[in-house]
Amino acid sequence: MPSDLSPIDKAKFVAAKQASLYVEDGMKVGLGTGSTAAWLVKCLGERVQDDGLKIKGVPTSSRTAALAREVGIEVMSLDEARWLDITIDGADEYDGNLNLIKGGGGALLQEKIVATASDQMVVIADASKSVETLGGFPLPLEVVPFGWQTTKTLIEETLIGMDVLGRKVSLRMNGEAPFYTDEGNHILDLHLNRIGNARQLSLVVNQIPGVVENGLFIDICDIVVIGHGDGRVEMRDINEGMVQEARHDFIETDNLFADLND
């Protein structure tokens, strides 16, 4: 791959490269959404093309599905797959217990469904996504369009009793129009600054009429693969209580990574 990437893109690439090694021949693989997950799809595509890896991918968005097909990965639906061997995805934040905030790309509902239908979830991230306490990144909630302003008011009232530092709620926009998810829903972003009890908040907000799902992934992630701009990679396994390290070198070449601008 080109060696003139920015440090953050190098970190994303080496994390994706390392995470792709968890995938074995014959696996059914959940494919995440977002810039880091796009690197993963490219890495798997390279293995499909160069090594003859045979896998079936279950994408978490239409964008990921299109990219997977482009790089030669066979795509199937979750209904066809029923259950997955592994899901690999990015995260907007992760804490020391590998709890996550996801949904910055607007695909949190499909991402959570796919992740929980997998034997294992591996998260790929750069070191900047590590936090002591979740909440610095706005927490996305997927809500149905019908009565969304009422839903927003109910969320704001509910947050008064929660252990959070901020309570601003905003409708995610796509230019001048509201953003729509692949399921035809809106996203409300909760600017909380700090979430004192993520488990409680996740349970409470999901009880609000109109809320489909939230972007807190609690007790779902098994391994986080953390990339660094110098090629170093850390693998933290929450189940085994292990931390391992690896390194990937950057070489100047012209291959399928050259057009990745996500």
Burial of 239 (0-12, 13-18, 19+ CB in 10 A): exposed
Residue 244: helix, strand or coil by DSSP?
strand
Q: Mind listing the pLDDT tens digit for each residue in 127-173?
A: 999 999 999 999 999 999 999 999 999 999 999 999 999 999 999 99
Cα dihedral 249, 254, 256, 261 sign: positive
207 CB-near residues (< 8 Å, 6+ apart)? none
Residue pLDDT, tens place only, 163-192: 999 999 999 999 999 999 999 999 999 999
* 111: annotated active-site residue: yes
Q: What is the percent of the chain with per-residue pLDDT over 90, rounded to a whole number?
A: 90
Choose the catalytic residue: 111, 156, 240, 245: 111
Residues that constitute the known binding site for substrate: 33-36, 89-92, 102-105, 129
| pTM score, whole prediction | 0.92
CATH topology of domain 7-130+219-247: Rossmann fold (3.40.50)
Q: What is the CATH number of domain 139-214?
A: 3.30.70.260
CATH 3.30.70.260 domain locations along the chain = 139-214
Q: Residue 184 class from Cβ within 10 Å (0-12 exposed, 13-18 middle, 19+ buried)?
A: exposed
DSSP-derived secondary structure letter, 47? H
The predicted structure's pLDDT at residue 143 = 98
d(CA 152, CA 187): 10
Residues of the chain with CATH 3.40.50.1360: 7-130+219-247
| Residues making up the binding site | 33-36, 89-92, 102-105, 129
